[in-house]
Amino acid sequence: MLVKSIVATLLLATAAPAVAQMKPVQVPCERSCMEDIAGSFLEALAARDSSRLPLAADARYTENGQEMGFDNGLWRTGSAIGAYRHVFADPASGQLGLFATMDENGHGVTMGVRIRLELGQISEVELVTYRVGAGPAWNDAGYAQLEGMRTPKTLWTATVPAAQRKSRQELVQIANQYFEAIENNDGKGDYPFTQDCDRLENGTYTTNRPGMIQMGGVDIGAMGCKEQFSTGLYGVVTEVHSRRFPVIDEERQAVFAFGVFDHCGCKRSLTMPDGRVVEIAGFNRPSSILLAEAFKIQGNLIQQVEAVGTSVPYHSDPGWGSR
């Protein structure tokens, strides 16, 4: 009887139809290919069906620093693709970065995504989300603003002539100066920004917007990037750790990075370079923000910043090491 059962099981297994697998993407996967992958990813996420993607058997997925399967998190709640999309392509590393919007059961989500391709299959997906309702009103307004923008500023997508490009290492060094300037911010550094630098956070411009963001009576939102850093008020960030620069878009001279901003909650006030003492409210307990953050480089300076960030437990480890 046991032999018959084993034979019957084998026959059933042989007769069962094979599970359909998505064909691997072309190798190498250049910019247009990576833009297609970004679109396919969003379509699969909105359909709640990861089987539409060419996933490797051991593919990893994290959402806001938490590892889970491709059948969990936003894969269960995504509803429709939003209007905004910004893709960063790095064929040399086989990775792409993506900022996009999505509807989640009637609520807006802004996301930053990294996708890694190996041998024509997706081996890694790292996603950071900001959900409308998670922060202050000016931050929540970002989703609707991105929906209206639809595309990033044209300076992000312009191809830089080869003779004017910085090397991969140089681009990372310039991008890292931003994190260094945040972590060690006292207002007295040499901050690497162009005069026209703007920063887009969760869909909202947090520079050159008078009256939007106040810190202890200082209208920091009215300032440009360099002027903001020169106040020393970003000293409220006590550490920027888990820094990674996985996607380097050489053609467009942009870097798509990740980092965790720690706020120790131990600084009640900060002293600006002009001697003013500014009381800091809202950062009175340990907290952290996980960010997907991109930098547009012009020469040796940062011209634009775009980021999606979400609150995470203090001093969280996103789980990707140095990748």
Instruction: Give the pair of three-digit tokens for residue 223.
Output: 């300032």
**Cα–Cα distance list, 157 to 152, 154, 249, 299 (Å):** 8, 5, 10, 16
DSSP letter at 275 equals S
Asked whether the beta carbons of 256 and 246 are under 8 A apart, the reply is yes
End-to-end CA distance of the chain: 53
| Alpha carbon 115 to its chain's center | 11
Partner residues linked to 316 by β-bridges:
none
CATH class for the region spanning 31-149: alpha beta
Q: Do domains 31-149 and 159-312 have the same CATH topology?
A: yes
Partner residues linked to 305 by β-bridges:
199, 295
Tell me the three state secondary structure of residue 219: coil
pLDDT for 258 beyond 50: yes
The reported pTM is 0.92
pLDDT of residue 280: 87
pLDDT for 15 beyond 80: no
Please give the helix or strand (H or E) that residue 227 lies within, else none. helix 225-229
Alpha carbons 162 and 16: distance in angstroms, whole number: 54
Query: Domain boundaries in the chain?
Result: 31-149, 159-312
Topology annotation, domain 159-312: Nuclear Transport Factor 2; Chain: A, (3.10.450)
CA dihedral (291, 69, 118, 19) in degrees, to 10, reads -150
Mind listing the pLDDT tens digit for each residue in 79-112? 999 999 999 999 999 999 999 999 999 999 999 9
Backbone angles phi, psi at 221, to 5 degrees: -65, -20
Which amino acid appears at position 137 of this protein? A
Mind listing the pLDDT tens digit for each residue in 235-255? 999 999 999 999 999 999 999
Alpha carbons 128 and 110: distance in angstroms, whole number: 8
Instruction: Give the pair of three-digit tokens for residue 267.
Output: 């600084």
Instruction: Give the pair of three-digit tokens for residue 37.
Output: 């992958």
Alpha carbons 305 and 25: distance in angstroms, whole number: 30
Task: Please give the angle made by the CA atoms of 95, 49 and 152, to the nearest 5 degrees.
Answer: 45
The pLDDT > 70 percentage for the chain reads 93
Confidence category of residue 21, pLDDT binned at 50, 70, 90: low
| Alpha carbon 188 to its chain's center | 28
Alpha carbons 256 and 296: distance in angstroms, whole number: 9
